[in-house]
């Protein structure tokens, strides 16, 4: 009887796959990209299987052909409307779990994208952060003073450790900043949100706001500086040392153009940072110590962001300026063009020349990137996909992670990781049970018995009515969807 049931279900599933087929639904607007193609292989049970289709790399992401990944573990793909379901068997005989370390990419080594340009500043660097390549460097490892670009690290830690909506009462410690500091003109006892203080930090470059944030986050300015130095080491900024959270000159506070690029890149990965560096003007309404309402209008010191400035550059998405007499004029800038992100750092520059240097580096980087892509990468026509992927009963997080190319669906590494995690979870649960009952009729119960049924016919189509350790119970009840 069991044999007949197995044959019956095998026929049903085969018919279903043939009847449904694969359909990716309505296509969205097409996009032309330049991508690098690499072959790859997957190791399964100590055997390496070479893919039939190449993976694609562009705009800092790697995309793998979905069917190649799914077929590597004998899985199947079914689409219906905007849903794509992956069915897969727990790999009971597999000795090791799946992981991205089982994907082997035959990397094609392309020439580095670099150029030389004349800049006035003593030190400079520009990094294509999408690919991680340093495109230009001048004295980028030389220790120099950061001035107020220090505040990028202060903002990074505040966003990482604080809550933008939390209320902050300004500490009296702000009165200890040097008299000639740049200020946001807040007072002890003022009550602002952390978000408002961060705009006070980054737009008018308020040293008073920096101290208020430091005390709020760490309890004291000194404790916050310790966090800054710990974070610098964590980010690989090993030629950087902080002594205060705002950048007022101290001979023991130094950095390099290379380190500032690392810190700036890390900051862009934190939600809430980009608005701080891209906003030209901000109006804050808050409460004074005496309960009176106060209003501050803060304007960014960054001329790249001011539409009425002759230095305004639309491709530059944000930045932070700095100045002290020993540091001269400093500038960290961020830009985006054609799907690529860039960071430039200017240290020991001149008032307007720092903007011109940064603008020149960005302009050259954009042009060189375009030439490089046309020469070394494949020009492809792709369709973004909004399909929702499920495996078992879990929907995967696939926002901006799916594309269609040549009628094949491609997924990013994070989706591959999610798929592997689901398979591993099912495999671990299956291996933990030596006896598995798989009734095929609703509410039918089996007493302890060993059934050798190809579990991949059923996994993903049936769900456990309840989680039961079948090693410690006499019956298992499984209910169909």
Last residue of a domain, one of 303, 333, 349: 349
User: How many helices (H) does the chain have, and how many strands (E)?
Assistant: 10, 25
With vertex at residue 229, the alpha carbon angle to CA 226 and CA 233, rounded to the nearest 5 degrees, is 140
DSSP code at position 272:
T
Catalytic residues, by residue number, are 148, 151, 205
* In a domain? residue 360: no
Q: How many CB atoms lie within 10 A of CB 440?
A: 17
The CATH number linked to 143 is 3.40.710.10
* Pair 341, 386 in one domain: no
Of the two residues 470 and 84, the one the predictor is more confident about is 84
Q: In which band, very low, low, confident or very high, does the pLDDT at 24 lie, cut at 50, 70 and 90?
A: very low
Least confident of 272-281, 369-378, 385-394: 385-394
Please write the tens of the pLDDT for every residue from 377-433: 999 999 988 888 988 778 888 888 899 999 899 999 888 888 888 877 777 766 655
Token pair 């059934």 is found at 451
Last residue of a domain, one of 304, 328, 349: 349
Q: Contacts from 430-438 at CB under 8 Å and sequence distance 24+?
A: 430/90, 430/92, 430/455, 431/90, 431/92, 432/469, 432/471, 433/469, 433/470, 433/471, 434/470, 434/471, 435/470, 435/471, 436/470, 436/476, 437/470, 437/475, 437/476, 437/478, 438/462, 438/478
* In a domain? residue 100: yes
Tokens at residue 295, please? 């209003």
* Surface-to-core class of residue 37, CB atoms within 10 Å of its CB (0-12 exposed, 13-18 middle, 19+ buried): middle
Please write the tens of the pLDDT for every residue from 331-369: 999 999 998 999 999 999 999 999 999 999 999 999 999
Distance from C-alpha of 478 to C-alpha of 465, rounded to nearest angstrom: 5
* Pair 46, 172 in one domain: no
Mean pLDDT of 125-143: 96
* In a domain? residue 113: no
How many structural domains compose the chain?
A: 2
Mean pLDDT of 21-48: 73
* Pair 437, 391 in one domain: yes
* In a domain? residue 361: no
In our burial notation (b when 16+ CB lie closer than 10 A, e otherwise), range 298-336 reads: bebbbbbbeeeeebbbeebbbbbbbbbeebbbbbbbbbb
* Pair 100, 134 in one domain: no
* In a domain? residue 374: no
Please write the tens of the pLDDT for every residue from 202-258: 999 999 999 999 999 999 999 999 999 999 999 999 999 999 999 999 999 999 999
* In a domain? residue 368: no
* Pair 223, 302 in one domain: yes
Q: In which band, very low, low, confident or very high, does the pLDDT at 82 lie, cut at 50, 70 and 90?
A: confident
* In a domain? residue 85: yes
Q: In which band, very low, low, confident or very high, does the pLDDT at 323 lie, cut at 50, 70 and 90?
A: very high
* Pair 296, 421 in one domain: no
* In a domain? residue 362: no
The range of the structural domain enclosing residue 71 comes to: 2-108+381-480
């Amino acid at each position: 009887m069991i044999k007949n049931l197995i044959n019956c279900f095998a026929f049903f599933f085969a018919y279903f796959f043939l009847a449904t087929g694969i359909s990716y639904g309505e296509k969205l607007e097409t996009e032309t990209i330049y991508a690098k193609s690499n072959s790859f292989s997957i190791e399964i049970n100590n055997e390496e299987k070479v893919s039939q289709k190449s993976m694609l790399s562009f705009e800092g992401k790697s995309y793998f052909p979905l069917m190649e990944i799914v077929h590597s573990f004998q899985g199947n793909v079914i689409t219906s409307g905007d849903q794509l379901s992956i069915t897969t068997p727990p790999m009971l005989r597999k000795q090791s779990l799946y992981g991205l370390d089982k994907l082997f990419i035959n990397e094609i080594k392309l020439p580095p994208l670099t150029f030389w340009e004349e800049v006035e500043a003593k030190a400079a660097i520009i990094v294509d952060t999408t690919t991680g390549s340093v495109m230009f460097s001048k004295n980028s490892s030389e220790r120099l003073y950061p001035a107020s670009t220090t505040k990028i690290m202060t903002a990074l830690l505040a966003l990482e450790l604080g809550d933008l909506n939390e209320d902050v009462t300004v500490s009296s410690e702000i009165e200890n900043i040097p008299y000639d500091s740049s200020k946001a003109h807040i007072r002890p006892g003022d009550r602002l949100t952390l978000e408002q203080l961060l705009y006070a930090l980054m737009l008018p470059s308020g040293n008073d706001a920096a101290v208020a944030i430091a005390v709020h986050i760490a309890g004291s300015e000194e404790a916050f500086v310790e966090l800054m130095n710990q974070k610098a080491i964590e980010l690989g900024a090993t030629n950087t040392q902080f002594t205060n959270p705002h950048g007022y000159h101290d001979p023991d506070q130094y950095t390099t153009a290379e380190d500032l690029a690392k810190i700036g890149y890390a900051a862009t990965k934190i939600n809430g940072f980009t608005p701080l560096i891209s906003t030209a003007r901000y109006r804050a309404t808050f409460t004074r110590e005496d309960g009176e309402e106060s209003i501050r209008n803060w304007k960014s010191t960054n001329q790249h962001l001011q539409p009425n400035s002759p230095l305004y550059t639309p491709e530059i998405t944000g930045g932070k300026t700095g100045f002290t007499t020993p540091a001269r004029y400093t500038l960290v800038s961020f830009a985006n063009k054609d799907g690529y992100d860039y960071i430039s750092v200017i240290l020991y520059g001149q008032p307007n020349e720092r903007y011109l240097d940064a603008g020149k580096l960005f302009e050259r980087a954009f042009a060189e990137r375009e030439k490089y892509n046309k020469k070394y990468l494949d020009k492809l026509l792709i369709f973004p996909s909004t399909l929702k992927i499920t495996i078992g009963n879990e929907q995967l997080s696939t926002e901006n992670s799916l594309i269609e190319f040549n009628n094949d669906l491609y997924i990013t590494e994070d989706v591959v990781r999610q798929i592997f995690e689901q398979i591993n979870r099912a495999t671990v649960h299956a291996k933990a049970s030596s006896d598995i009952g798989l009734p095929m009729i609703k509410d039918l119960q089996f007493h302890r018995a060993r059934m050798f049924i190809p579990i991949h016919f059923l996994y993903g189509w049936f769900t456990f009515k309840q989680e039961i350790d079948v090693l410690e119970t006499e019956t298992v009840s499984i209910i169909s969807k």
